[in-house]
Amino acid sequence: MSDTQLTIALERYDRHVPIFMGSVAPPAGVQLRPLEVGMQTAHRDGRDRHRRFLQGREFDIAETSLSSHIISVSRGEPFVGIPVFPRRLFSQNHILVTAASGIENPKDLEGKRVVINAFQVTMTVLALGDLKFEYEVDLTKVHWISTYDEVLEIGAREGFSVAKVPDGTDPGQLLLSGDADAIIFPHPPASVLGTDQIRPLFADRKAEALRYFGKLGYYPIMHLIAFQAPVIEANPGLAQGIAQMWDAAKAEADHFYEDPGYANLAFARNEFEYQQDRMGAGAWPSGLAANRANLERFITYMADQGLIAAAMPVEDLFHPSTLDS
């Protein structure tokens, strides 16, 4: 009997290198073809991973946006997640402002023009939720500039001031030209890096992110691994099998940093040790129990921003076989 042949679309992170190399085994009975698919940037197998997975149904399994997965599940779309989270980011590290804006703290964003990817982008959801609930920013007093079409239709943002610029607009140029005051992006555009015209909102953004981590106890989730529902319905054992494979890849990637010369960064090993010292060795856990508080708060943000009709149980996002993880 031949093996089941499946595709999995992933970003080219260090924790996915073992999967691309074939040094971690896929579940028994599966031939897995890893595809290197970026989002804004084209990789070996192209770009626009989330849209190709969620709209085009192009991949059997994919690393996808947490927020878009929640929207899809809330609408009864045929996707099933597993509690494995390939990408995490702190919002505090991704809010940049122009030096000329006079913005010194989060409340100063009120009345200003702030550039985002799109409202359902996970970083946007996280940052807006954090600005409202952590920093008491009135989101309706911010003038939002959206630079990308939404992957899934979400309707108008009630009560929000929103302008949409054409796709392909360089968001960084909006700041440099004075047409915007701040930007919230998961991938800051190259045009805003290395210029004294743009600076982080938080002067010590690492310290602010670590304060947030200390308060809430988690490193915020951006992406998860999800399946086309018919794929996992045909082989329910894939849920745990792929989760175990990803965990093995993550563990192998951690070992890469035992070599101080592994990365292009001169002090990558030092940063690895610093992170373990400040955040603990388990700051990037898989499983539902370890991530429940993170997911519940994020779902609250989604409902508050009108991206879903109401908060849902986190269990709804994942395959039943993974709920005890």
Cβ burial 155-166 (10 Å sphere, 16+ → b, else e): eebeebeeeebe
Round to whole Å and give the CA distance between 38 and 47.
4
Task: Specify the pLDDT at position 153.
Answer: 74
* 166: DSSP letter: P
Task: Specify the pLDDT at position 167.
Answer: 79
158's torsion region: left (phi>0), alpha (psi -120 to 50) or beta?
Answer: beta
Q: List, in order of start, the domains of the chain with CATH numbers.
A: 4-89+220-322 (3.40.190.10), 91-216 (3.40.190.10)
Cα pseudo-dihedral 256, 259, 263, 266, rounded to 10: 150
Tens digit of pLDDT at every position of the chain (325 positions)? 478 999 999 999 999 999 999 999 999 999 999 999 998 888 999 989 999 999 999 999 999 999 999 999 999 999 999 999 999 999 999 999 999 999 999 999 999 999 999 999 999 999 999 999 999 999 999 999 998 887 777 777 788 888 988 877 888 899 999 999 999 999 888 888 888 999 999 999 999 999 999 999 999 999 999 999 999 999 999 999 999 999 999 999 999 999 999 999 999 999 999 999 999 988 999 999 999 999 999 999 999 999 999 999 999 999 999 999 9
Round to whole Å and give the CA distance between 179 and 200.
18
